[in-house]
């Protein structure tokens, strides 16, 4: 038997497991995919293990819903901070380690989490799109209206296309501007579908918007299907530093895996 906890951050949902005793079968891709299955399992975009680490408050280990360990997940990072608080591992501030390095975070009020993301050292501008890595690789595609985009097939075509074949594919974000605000829809690699929001994705979008001079703001609110997320950053020479992803991270329910 094993306890699990369900969390969501702007609709991006995760199965959380306290693995500080190291009992979870981490190499069992079929089990992880089964737990994330929305019809035959618990249902989630991914699974996150919270583990002990001698140098940090905890270690975050993230798996996509296909059962494979993956690159950094921003919304998952915010949710694991809220989970760590629920477990009593942290109080209001934390320094934890993930696959892309260390992350600082603070939590306030009703589980509103500010998560520091990795620095971005390179932004590739192309005709109609931008590519950058915010802990995970992201293609940012400019469109007239995200509501008219058929995200799953169009995202898959880019994700599996020749553009990123040598990178193992990319996450794909579609972005449009309306009435002075920006809407984002994301196709996530490893989920292989649209998710209600993507933390590393909106982080990539915010930096891409600034880099291409579509906004002068260095604190930007992005609208996703699951709600609003805020991204702030500093431009230092050609790099982007002090990047923070902020938004709600909510506990949904808990249960037991038998």
Low-confidence ranges of the chain (pLDDT < 70): none
- The DSSP symbol for 209 reads H
Domain-embedded: residue 112: no
* Residue 64 is assigned to a ligand binding site: yes
* Residue 75 is assigned to a ligand binding site: yes
Q: Are 242 and 253 within one domain?
A: no
Q: Which residues form the catalytic set?
A: 73, 198
Q: What is the pLDDT of residue 252?
A: 98
Q: Provide the CATH number for the domain around residue 58.
A: 3.10.310.10
Domain-embedded: residue 31: yes
Domain-embedded: residue 38: yes
* Residue 46 is assigned to a ligand binding site: no
Range of the domain at 72: 2-106+249-257
CA distance 142 to 149: 11
Domain-embedded: residue 114: no
Q: What is the pLDDT of residue 116?
A: 99
Q: What is the pLDDT of residue 167?
A: 86
Q: What is the pLDDT of residue 141?
A: 98
Q: What SS3 string covers 169-199?
A: CCEEEEEEEECCEEEEEEEECCCCEEECCCH
Q: What is the pLDDT of residue 110?
A: 85
Share of the chain above pLDDT 90, in %: 96
Q: Are 127 and 242 within one domain?
A: yes
* Residue 215 is assigned to a ligand binding site: no
Q: What is the pLDDT of residues 220-231, one digit of tens each?
A: 999 999 999 999
Domain-embedded: residue 115: no
Taking alpha carbons only, the member of 14, 5, 6 closest to residue 199 is 14
Predicted TM-score of the model (pTM) = 0.96
Q: What is the pLDDT of residue 247?
A: 98
* Residue 171 is assigned to a ligand binding site: yes
CB 230 within 8 A of CB 218: no
- The DSSP symbol for 248 reads E
């Amino acid at each position: 038997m094993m306890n699990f906890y369900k969390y969501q951050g702007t609709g991006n949902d995760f199965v959380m497991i306290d693995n500080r005793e190291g009992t979870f079968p981490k190499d069992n891709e079929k089990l992880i995919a089964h737990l994330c299955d929305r019809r035959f399992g618990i249902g989630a975009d991914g699974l996150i293990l919270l583990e002990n680490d001698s140098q940090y408050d905890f270690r975050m280990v993230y798996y996509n819903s296909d059962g494979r360990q993956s690159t950094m997940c921003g919304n998952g990072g915010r949710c694991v901070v809220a989970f760590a608080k629920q477990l009593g591992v942290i109080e209001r501030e934390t320094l934890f380690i993930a696959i892309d390095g260390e992350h600082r975070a603070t939590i306030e009020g009703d589980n509103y989490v500010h998560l520091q993301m990795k620095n971005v050292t390179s932004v590739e501008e192309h005709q109609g799109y931008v590519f950058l890595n915010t802990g995970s690789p992201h293609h940012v595609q400019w469109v007239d209206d995200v509501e008219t985009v058929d995200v799953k097939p169009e995202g898959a075509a880019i994700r599996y296309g020749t553009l990123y074949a040598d990178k193992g594919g990319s996450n794909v974000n579609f972005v449009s501007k309306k009435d002075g605000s920006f809407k984002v829809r994301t196709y996530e690699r490893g989920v292989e579908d649209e998710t209600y929001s993507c933390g590393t994705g909106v982080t990539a979008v915010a930096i891409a918007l600034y880099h291409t001079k579509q906004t002068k703001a260095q604190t930007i609110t992005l609208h996703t299907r699951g709600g609003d997320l805020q991204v702030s950053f500093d431009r230092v020479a050609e790099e982007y530093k002090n990047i923070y992803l902020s938004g709600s991270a909510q506990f949904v329910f808990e249960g037991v895996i038998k």
